[in-house]
Structure 1
Amino acid sequence: MKKTAEKGKKIVFGVLLVLACILIPQKMTNAAGNTVPTAVDNLTVSLRNKVNMAVTDNGYMRVAYDGSKVRVEYYDTQFNLQRKGSLDLELPIWGGFYAGQDAYYLAEAQNNTEQSDTKEVIRVIKYDKNWRRLGAASITGDPELFGGEVRYPFDYGCVEMAESGNNLYLVTGHEGYVDAGVGQGHQGYLMVQIDKTTLKGSIVDCNLGHSFAQYIKSDGAQLYVLEQSEGGRCTELSKYDTASMKKQSLSVLEYGGFRTDAWAIACYASVDDLAVSSSNVLSVGTSIDQSQYDNVTSDMPHNLYLTITPKNNFTEDAATVRWLTDFTGDGASFLGVKLTKINDNRFMLSWEETGKTQKITNNDPLSVSILHYVFLDGNGETVSREFTAPAPISDCHPIVNGSKIVYSASSSNTVAFYSIDANSGAFQKKVYRIAGENAVWSLANGVLTISGIGAIDIDKEAHYRYPVSSTARSYSYSSADNSWKDIRECVTKIVIEKGITSIPEEAFYYFSNLKEAEIKEGLKSIEKKAFYACKNLRKITIPASVTEIGEECLATGYYWVGSEEPVVDAKIYAPKGSYAIKYAKQNNIAYTETKAAASGNNSGNTSANITRKKVTVTALTSSKAGTIKLKWKKLSGADGYEIQYARNAKFTKNKKKVTVKKAAATSKTIKKLKKKSRYYVRIRAYKKANGKTAYSKWSAKKSVKCK
């Protein structure tokens, strides 16, 4: 008898394509052999962009924050990857990227929980167009200004930048120092001005009035800033004269509801983008009918709104609102809205509606989304039909290159580049199917093939997409969802080609129609639950090179009543005497011994292999006095890890070591250290075999000041 198991977990996958790799710009880390884009999921449009694009002399540049590093990739005009590299963050919080007229800028930040008036809270780093670091502006709070105290920079804010003359301006949100009356700080608006030559920067405008989105555009001597002013209960548009920084603000869309205390109340609106035409300031967002605010229900829809404010009559009386959609029920909402300036009198408005999907095309998982776009003139009037295309909106703001409007979208296994003709609206795309740093996937006739070099590297999180604003109370998602969900029902066979070295945990979770898996020689490890809940899997071919198979690797998701042992319906085909046959015997799994000789899976080869690897450190922090905590990515094939630390950067004096004997460990806390001292840390893996110990290369050195 079989018994139903718990429903599945989340998982996300990726795959690969081999292209030429050239030199990486100076001051960037070159990850040798990386030949495909990095799959950074940016399908959820939030306040801070993870992915940006810029035009270069020879094509395009993609700048993507992957959660730990800034990835920089260069493409030709046809979106063929030319080269790639990465930069480490200098401060722990990602802000954003800006392509200036003659330089690139990265904004980063750190929290100020100690509430110091002199602590650097924001750093804007300037690079030349070859990514050579030119310097940085260090921004501290300013207690002389109301709202100038900064405890949490970028809090509930965008990080948007614009240039005017010799100055760079940045707008964002922040949280001030703790108010004892409410037990936390108040959130508000923050504007920073930086001299591009001296890189001297300071806060020039701020408040604590609940500013929940901020956008900035330059128009000569005028700066325009758009905010979601929850405190003011409106979408607020401001104009600054850059010579005097005199500010004029007005409401372009009023919200319902009344403020009764210090806590935020729902706006049921979003503020999404800003652009300036020859005669008007245009802004876009989504909102309910605010006159019905007090009667809001879960099926009350949002609609797209466009505001038009004349530059020569910058008043509330002159500002107008144009509604671009007319939904009347079902809680309609939007996943994001973008307003792209083509020239002073032509703009493209693009959006995606929540919950509206279509059938997948050309094995492109992103094609299930429906992109809408329409062209407007400088007065906000529609000048084209509404177009649709098989593509998602993303957090990457479209850019303009000649007659082309370009942007990028990515899930955890697919990176796509989209090009829209600015005149005709014609749509084109290029799709990369990613399975790791050096791996790609393809799907044909039900066969999913993964090829390339090295490990399959799959983000196991399910990245659910949420509307920017909605009245709906909840959204339904399957706990088995992952980045394969749009293609996995089509897959009947999986082929892992030679060159792939490992299959990660839960890699092919819930492929319900999968019948066969064929793994080619060279694979070393299959981690636990790699083929979990593939209930129709009947045959898996495992080569002699495999020396590690995780628990419940082939479990169907059902368990035998009484013993509670996992049910496995797949049969293992492997060489006689191989690790896979031993695994089958130990776990009562059916098997067939093949004639191929077991080769390449001796312990000596496994130990030698680890010497060519390197552990990747993901974090080094100090949250308690006298302690530091190191985190790293698990290295396949390792028996454990050795951590070395010292107060000397070259590890030549008083260095100490800690041994971590668990192969699955990914973190270690080191205690009893000297307070207020800087420690340098590195880590390597080890493998024991035949009475000997082999070590991997040392990781990159990291440092942290101990509290």
Structure 2
Amino acid sequence: MGVYDPFENGAVRMTENEGILYIHTSRLLYWDQSKDPGMVKHHQANLTYAVDEESMECVMNAAGGDWVSHSLDQYILTDGDYIYRLDLGDGAPRAVVVARNSVYKQPEDEHTWWMSNDRVFLMQMIGGYGQAYTGVSLGGFELMGDTLLVIGNSVVQDAAVTNANDETTHRNIFVITQDTNWETAPQFKFLTNYTKEDGITVRTPHIVKVADGYYILWEELYTERGSEVYTTRIAKMTPDGTIEGKIHRIKARLSDCKPIVTSDNRLLWYVTANNKSLLFYSLDLNRLDDYEYSGPVYAEDFDIRLSQYTFKCINSNHMQPYTPKVSVYYNGKKLVYGEDYTFDFRDYYTEGTAYVDVTGKDYFMGTQTVSYTILPADEEPPYREPSWWGSSSSQNKSQTGSTSNKNKTGNSSSSNKNSSTQAVQKPTKVTRVKVSNLWGRKIKVSWSRQQKISGYQIQYAQNKKFTKSKKTVNVSRGSSLKIIRGLKKKKTYYVRVRAYAASGNSKLYSAWSKSVKIKIKK
């Protein structure tokens, strides 16, 4: 068979007739470069072979007569009398080509029947010999009555119109029909006529055979308001490739899974888009008008309601989230979270403006942002020493046998009463200072909380001597963390903290903590 690597760079498709399984695929071949130096070491081409289903023996291999190289896609089917093989070639020939052979009849010499084949070029492509980009993608090959039908998408195959090397050239959906008797020339026509200005990308179509014709489906992609929009087109088609009725537009995705028609006349397929679990689609073919899709609804048209639009910060040692309940309506109907929309909060831990980003799902697209306000916490009163803290009183009492001073009246007196008040003490150095990046050019500063102080000061600058772009912020004594905003991205900052205690109109400061270095990354 001359096969180095089977099924390489192509498809594997099969058909059967009277106990014989026909397989049409591709391969890499063994190739003697010394005899043909212009070829690569392992050349790619199509391959057909037949297997007896009862004995599982190969009754024919490496069928000749329809060599296509490189063969980028392969299809095969039978009408009981003939085998029809379809290939997309990029060189020999550079065309969509169909070959016809009689079915296997156990001849004494397999080449007697298999080599007697004929073929038709259904569509020839512009571009150089062997140029891999053809501007064509095949989507299906079917037979009904005496008419073969091929669907796909393609650029305009006219060198005067299309640059053969431009892979960004827009495509349209096409259909080709060819009678099985080879009596008439193939009939080619586009089913869509999009231009580059339309901005619509058509994907490879599917074709589904039914009793009286076909259903053709393809996916379209375009951009609207900055979002990618995917829709699926579906239409009924007669055996000669004519669209019957309208081309419907539905909200659905397609995949490599070819749809099937169930016994209750429903079209069924599945997708696994965006690495999600299986999603099945089921369409009632009698009610296609009911699935008509007019386009996406955008989140900017949502009516978004928050349970609360103003919060006040709470003095706490821990970061406190401030998040209202979110309700979303469209045209007066309340939407379902997780099905119709999702949302995320931003900047919802510290004072200032916080945001809710509501993003549509399924039929709803885009994002609408609603803001709310977080007010600063009430300032705690400065710490003051209690009246009893640090005071002492002693009184000398008369004791038996003790010496006492007497006054002129003869009364003894030990009424000396001494009292003193201890001064406010200088706070100790702040410890366990930590600094971390937050999103939006912010940092979180935290430290070990102290007792018997009036507050803290945080100082930050762009050099370790604290002389460049230095700033100082005060923090209430009840806190042990602070969010600092408005920093410069990719700049390095040094941060230190100290405590202070109020004594009348003056303050006693602790020594500065050890400085912490951080680079703004977010």
TM-score (norm 1): 0.38
Query: Residue 395 of structure 2 corresponds to which residue in structure 1?
Result: none
Kindly state the Cα deviation for residue 233 of structure 1 after the two structures are TM-superposed.
1.5
Please point out which of 406, 413, 421 is paired with 2:276.
413
| Larger strand share, 1 or 2 | 2
Relative to structure 1, the CA distance from residue 264 to residue 427 in structure 2 (aligned partners, 3 Å threshold; closer, same or farther) is farther
Residues 561-572 of structure 1: pairs in structure 2 closer than 5 A: 561-562=491-492
2:25 pairs with 1:172: yes
Looking at structure 1, the residues matched to 118 and 162 of structure 2 have their Cα atoms a distance apart, in angstroms, of: 33
Kindly state the Cα deviation for residue 342 of structure 1 after the two structures are TM-superposed.
1.2
Kindly state the Cα deviation for residue 192 of structure 1 after the two structures are TM-superposed.
2.5
Which sections of structure 2, spanning at least 5 residues, go unmatched? 105-112, 292-303, 307-337, 347-366, 372-436, 445-487, 496-516
2:177 pairs with 1:308: yes
Kindly state the Cα deviation for residue 563 of structure 1 after the two structures are TM-superposed.
7.2
Looking at structure 2, the residues matched to 358 and 426 of structure 1 have their Cα atoms a distance apart, in angstroms, of: 27
Looking at structure 2, the residues matched to 533 and 169 of structure 1 have their Cα atoms a distance apart, in angstroms, of: 63
Larger Cα Rg: Structure 1 or Structure 2? 2
2:77 pairs with 1:217: yes
Looking at structure 1, the residues matched to 30 and 494 of structure 2 have their Cα atoms a distance apart, in angstroms, of: 54
- Secondary structure class of the residue paired with 2:22: strand
One-letter identity of the residue aligned with 2:53:
K
- Secondary structure class of the residue paired with 1:184: coil
Contact 1:357 1:370 in 2 (8 A): no
Please point out which of 375, 397, 401 is paired with 2:258.
397
Looking at structure 2, the residues matched to 533 and 162 of structure 1 have their Cα atoms a distance apart, in angstroms, of: 61
Kindly state the Cα deviation for residue 218 of structure 1 after the two structures are TM-superposed.
2.6
Contact 2:208 2:259 in 1 (8 A): yes
Kindly state the Cα deviation for residue 335 of structure 1 after the two structures are TM-superposed.
2.0
Looking at structure 2, the residues matched to 216 and 427 of structure 1 have their Cα atoms a distance apart, in angstroms, of: 36
Query: Residue 256 of structure 1 corresponds to which residue in structure 2?
Result: 126
Relative to structure 1, the CA distance from residue 358 to residue 276 in structure 2 (aligned partners, 3 Å threshold; closer, same or farther) is farther
Looking at structure 1, the residues matched to 77 and 245 of structure 2 have their Cα atoms a distance apart, in angstroms, of: 25
Relative to structure 1, the CA distance from residue 489 to residue 321 in structure 2 (aligned partners, 3 Å threshold; closer, same or farther) is same
Kindly state the Cα deviation for residue 513 of structure 1 after the two structures are TM-superposed.
8.5
Contact 1:513 1:534 in 2 (8 A): no
Query: Residue 492 of structure 1 corresponds to which residue in structure 2?
Result: 344
2:379 pairs with 1:379: no
Query: Residue 504 of structure 2 corresponds to which residue in structure 1?
Result: none
2:153 pairs with 1:286: yes
Relative to structure 1, the CA distance from residue 417 to residue 488 in structure 2 (aligned partners, 3 Å threshold; closer, same or farther) is closer
Kindly state the Cα deviation for residue 292 of structure 1 after the two structures are TM-superposed.
2.5
Kindly state the Cα deviation for residue 426 of structure 1 after the two structures are TM-superposed.
5.7
Kindly state the Cα deviation for residue 257 of structure 1 after the two structures are TM-superposed.
2.9
Looking at structure 2, the residues matched to 342 and 421 of structure 1 have their Cα atoms a distance apart, in angstroms, of: 14
Identical positions, percent: 19
Residues 629-668 of structure 1: pairs in structure 2 closer than 5 A: none
- Secondary structure class of the residue paired with 1:215: strand
Relative to structure 1, the CA distance from residue 169 to residue 537 in structure 2 (aligned partners, 3 Å threshold; closer, same or farther) is farther
Looking at structure 1, the residues matched to 172 and 189 of structure 2 have their Cα atoms a distance apart, in angstroms, of: 10
Looking at structure 2, the residues matched to 310 and 335 of structure 1 have their Cα atoms a distance apart, in angstroms, of: 27
Kindly state the Cα deviation for residue 151 of structure 1 after the two structures are TM-superposed.
2.0
Relative to structure 1, the CA distance from residue 170 to residue 375 in structure 2 (aligned partners, 3 Å threshold; closer, same or farther) is same
Kindly state the Cα deviation for residue 427 of structure 1 after the two structures are TM-superposed.
6.9
Contact 1:227 1:271 in 2 (8 A): no
Residues 245-394 of structure 1: pairs in structure 2 closer than 5 A: 245=114, 246-259=116-129, 263-292=130-159, 295-296=162-163, 300-311=169-180, 313-315=181-183, 317-330=184-197, 333-343=201-211, 345-355=212-222, 368-394=229-255
Looking at structure 2, the residues matched to 395 and 514 of structure 1 have their Cα atoms a distance apart, in angstroms, of: 40
Superposed CA RMSD: 4.2
Kindly state the Cα deviation for residue 489 of structure 1 after the two structures are TM-superposed.
8.8
Query: Residue 51 of structure 2 corresponds to which residue in structure 1?
Result: 194
One-letter identity of the residue aligned with 1:408:
Y
One-letter identity of the residue aligned with 1:156:
N
2:6 pairs with 1:153: yes
Looking at structure 2, the residues matched to 356 and 298 of structure 1 have their Cα atoms a distance apart, in angstroms, of: 19
Contact 1:238 1:250 in 2 (8 A): yes
Contact 1:370 1:388 in 2 (8 A): yes
Looking at structure 2, the residues matched to 293 and 266 of structure 1 have their Cα atoms a distance apart, in angstroms, of: 17
Looking at structure 2, the residues matched to 185 and 445 of structure 1 have their Cα atoms a distance apart, in angstroms, of: 65
Q: For 1:122-145, what per-residue CA distance to the aligned partner results, in whole angstroms no more than 9, with x for missing partners?
A: xxxxxxxxxxxxxxxxxxxx2xxx
Which sections of structure 1, spanning at least 5 residues, go unmatched? 1-141, 143-148, 361-366, 429-443, 447-485, 495-510, 516-531, 540-557, 566-586, 589-707
Q: For 1:311-358, what per-residue CA distance to the aligned partner results, in whole angstroms no more than 9, with x for missing partners?
A: 2x325x432112111123247542221111012x32011111243579
Kindly state the Cα deviation for residue 538 of structure 1 after the two structures are TM-superposed.
12
Relative to structure 1, the CA distance from residue 359 to residue 198 in structure 2 (aligned partners, 3 Å threshold; closer, same or farther) is farther
- Secondary structure class of the residue paired with 2:126: coil
One-letter identity of the residue aligned with 1:185:
H
One-letter identity of the residue aligned with 2:172:
N
TM-score (norm 2): 0.51
Contact 1:418 1:427 in 2 (8 A): no
Query: Residue 506 of structure 1 corresponds to which residue in structure 2?
Result: none
One-letter identity of the residue aligned with 2:214:
F
Contact 1:371 1:392 in 2 (8 A): yes
One-letter identity of the residue aligned with 2:279:
A
Relative to structure 1, the CA distance from residue 192 to residue 357 in structure 2 (aligned partners, 3 Å threshold; closer, same or farther) is farther
Relative to structure 1, the CA distance from residue 285 to residue 196 in structure 2 (aligned partners, 3 Å threshold; closer, same or farther) is same
Residues 435-450 of structure 1: pairs in structure 2 closer than 5 A: none
